[in-house]
A and B are shown apart, each in its own frame.
Chain A
Amino acid sequence: QSALTQPPSASGSPGQSVTISCTGTSSDVGSYNFVSWYQQHPGKAPKLMIYEVSKRPSGVPDRFSGSKSGNTASLTVSGLQAEDEADYYCSSYAGSNNLGLFGTGTKVTVL
């Protein structure tokens, strides 16, 4: 299976919102509510920001929100802050033979 498709880059000014898309197929994103989003700063391990499409782990600000429509999931970061500048990856369950299909990654720049 191919990686999920994300835009290479996205940007916004402090305080603004940015939305990142994650496009899969009816075999992964479209079939399961197991879409996750990870934030990764340079040289660091990824950090879970959203799981099961729209749930936030404890400690993740409510500025981060997730949604899904059909084969496309989205991550919205509201009230952008400098520390939000990072790479973001989506991931989807794709059946018992493929538990973790990742997206191509999006670099978010805070202008």
Chain B
Amino acid sequence: QLQLQESGPGLVKPSETLSLTCTVSGGSITGSSYYWGWIRQPPGKGLEWIGNIYYSGSTYYNPSLQSRVTMSVDTSKNQFSLKLSSVTAADTAVYFCAKTLVSSPSFDYWGQGTLVTVSS
């Protein structure tokens, strides 16, 4: 059974860079025709897609976050990562990592989510 687990600091200072890693177990990150993604949810609010990455390194980012987002993949560790720069309080959210279906943008496997708070 595929499992995803987010990890990273739970507190980030304003203007700094948020960094999270998603570790995939029970399957290989190098599977073909599906992507790995990040989605966030501010407390009490809705979901927001951040971006997707393919194991080859190809990326797709939400246009509203594109200037601040960098995603990468480490196939040797079966992990993929998110960096979000110049964070503000508005970036406080639960961050989920997830996997898409084959050849479809829907996310069928999700991590449990990790709360990142931006505060000094």
Interface pair B96/A57, CB less than 8 Å apart: no
Interface pair B105/A48, CB less than 8 Å apart: no
Of A36, A47, A96, the most chain B CB neighbours within 10 A belong to A36
Interface pair B37/A100, CB less than 8 Å apart: yes
Interface pair A36/B96, CB less than 8 Å apart: no
Task: Given contact pairs A91-B49, A100-B62, A102-B46, enumerate 9 new A-B contacts (beta carbons under 8 Å).
Answer: A45-B110, A46-B96, A48-B107, A52-B104, A89-B46, A98-B62, A99-B35, A100-B52, A102-B47
Q: Chain B residues in contact with chain A, CB under 8 A?
A: 35, 37, 39, 46-49, 52, 60, 62-63, 96, 98, 101, 104-108, 110-113
Closest chain B residue, CB of each to CB of A50: B106
Asked if A86 CB lies within 8 Å of chain B CBs, one says no
Residues of B within 8 A of A52 (CB): 104, 106
**C-alpha spacing A32/B63, complex, angstroms:** 19
- Give me the 9 closest cross-chain CB pairs, A-B, nearest first: A100-B49, A51-B106, A45-B110, A36-B106, A102-B47, A105-B46, A99-B105, A93-B105, A48-B108
**C-alpha spacing A110/B96, complex, angstroms:** 27
Residues of B within 8 A of A57 (CB): 108
| Known A99-B52, A99-B60, A100-B39: A3·B46 in contact at CB below 8 Å | yes
